[in-house]
Amino acid sequence: MRRFPVGLLLIAVWLIGCTAPTQPGSAAVASSTIPAAPTAFILHTVAATTSAATHTPAATSTPVPSATAVNATATLGQPTPAPLPPSPTQLPPSAPPSPTALPGPSDTPTPRVALTPVPPPPLPSSPTSRPGAGPTAPNIDIIVDNRDSGFSTTGHWFIGDGGQSYGGDCAWAPRGIGNIAYVKPALPLRGAYEIFAWWCGDPNGDQAERAQIQVYPTVGRVATFPVYVNLQENAGQWRSLGVYPLETNGFLSIDSGLHGNVVADAFRFVYRSPERTSITPTPLPTPILWSNHPPSPLEQLTAGDLSARLGLTRRFYTASPLIVSQETTFDDCQAFPRDGCGGARPGWRVRVGHRQMTVAYRVSQDYRHVAIEPPPDLAGRQSLYLYGSQGARFFRVDRYPDDVWMLSAAPLDAEAPATSMPLEAQVVQDLREFIDRYGTIRFAMNAGAPPGEATLYGLGPKVELDAGDRGRLVTMIAALAETAWLAIP
Give CA angle at 157 (155, 161), nearest 5°: 165
Across 35-63, average pLDDT: 34
Strand partners of residue 245 = 192
Q: Is the pLDDT assigned to residue 87 strictly greater than 70?
A: no
pLDDT of residue 286: 57
Residues 163 and 212 in one domain: yes
Q: Which residue has the higher pLDDT, 43 or 442?
A: 442
Q: Are 417 and 482 in contact (CB under 8 A)?
A: no
Separation of alpha carbons 386 and 400, rounded Å: 13
Separation of alpha carbons 207 and 171, rounded Å: 12
Q: Is the pLDDT assigned to residue 273 strictly greater than 70?
A: yes
Separation of alpha carbons 458 and 371, rounded Å: 10
In the structure, what pLDDT confidence band is assigned to residue 335 with cuts at 50, 70 and 90?
very high
In the structure, what pLDDT confidence band is assigned to residue 158 with cuts at 50, 70 and 90?
very high
What's the predicted TM-score (pTM) here? Answer: 0.67
Q: Are 393 and 324 in contact (CB under 8 A)?
A: no
Helices (H), 310-445: 332-335, 378-381, 425-437
Residues 269 and 336 in one domain: no
Q: What would the pLDDT profile of 174-192 be if each residue is shown by its tens digit?
A: 998 889 999 999 999 999 9
Confirm whether 124 is domain-assigned. Answer: no
Q: Which residue has the higher pLDDT, 102 or 418?
A: 418
Confirm whether 431 is domain-assigned. Answer: yes
Separation of alpha carbons 457 and 428, rounded Å: 14
pLDDT of residue 63: 38
Q: Which residue has the higher pLDDT, 98 or 427?
A: 427
pLDDT of residue 215: 95
pLDDT of residue 280: 60
Residues 173 and 317 in one domain: no
Return the closest-CA partner of residue 182 out of 157, 209, 210: 157
Residues 143 and 208 in one domain: yes
Separation of alpha carbons 242 and 196, rounded Å: 8
Q: Are 332 and 338 in contact (CB under 8 A)?
A: no
Residues 230 and 377 in one domain: no
Residues 327 and 368 in one domain: yes
Average pLDDT across the chain, whole number = 74
Across 429-441, average pLDDT: 95
Q: Which residue has the higher pLDDT, 318 or 449?
A: 318
Most confident range (mean pLDDT) of 34-38, 241-245, 327-331 is: 327-331
Q: Which residue has the higher pLDDT, 413 or 60?
A: 413
pLDDT of residue 136: 66
Confirm whether 126 is domain-assigned. Answer: no
Residues 150 and 191 in one domain: yes
Residues 462 and 317 in one domain: yes
CATH number at residue 221: 2.60.120.260
Q: What would the pLDDT profile of 293-311 be if each residue is shown by its tens digit?
A: 777 888 888 998 999 999 8
Q: Which helix (H) or strand (E) holds 19?
A: helix 6-19
- Count of domains observed in the chain: 2
Q: Which residue has the higher pLDDT, 115 or 361?
A: 361
Separation of alpha carbons 81 and 79, rounded Å: 7
Structural domain range at position 383: 297-487
Last residue of a domain, one of 217, 238, 273: 273
Q: Is the pLDDT assigned to residue 455 strictly greater than 90?
A: yes
pLDDT of residue 154: 95
Length of the chain, please?
489
Across 100-109, average pLDDT: 35
Q: Which residue has the higher pLDDT, 287 or 26?
A: 287
Q: Are 209 and 286 in contact (CB under 8 A)?
A: yes
Q: Is the pLDDT assigned to residue 105 strictly greater than 60?
A: no
Q: What would the pLDDT profile of 397-431 be if each residue is shown by its tens digit?
A: 999 999 999 999 888 776 667 888 999 999 999 99
Residues 223 and 326 in one domain: no
Q: Is the pLDDT assigned to residue 116 strictly greater than 60?
A: no
Residues 335 and 461 in one domain: yes
Separation of alpha carbons 463 and 431, rounded Å: 16
pLDDT of residue 36: 36
Separation of alpha carbons 52 and 62, rounded Å: 10
DSSP reduced 3-state for 306: helix
If one counts every other C-beta atom within 10 angstroms of the C-beta of residue 271, the result is 22
Helix, strand, coil percentages in the chain from 3-state DSSP, rounded to 5: 20, 30, 50
Residues 256 and 326 in one domain: no
Q: Which residue has the higher pLDDT, 86 or 261?
A: 261
Confirm whether 311 is domain-assigned. Answer: yes
Q: Are 189 and 142 in contact (CB under 8 A)?
A: no
Confirm whether 32 is domain-assigned. Answer: no
Confirm whether 469 is domain-assigned. Answer: yes
Separation of alpha carbons 33 and 63, rounded Å: 12
Across 124-153, average pLDDT: 71
Confirm whether 279 is domain-assigned. Answer: no
Q: What would the pLDDT profile of 251-265 be if each residue is shown by its tens digit?
A: 999 998 888 999 999
Q: Which residue has the higher pLDDT, 286 or 209?
A: 209
Single-letter amino acid, residue 464: E
Confirm whether 203 is domain-assigned. Answer: yes
Residues 159 and 226 in one domain: yes
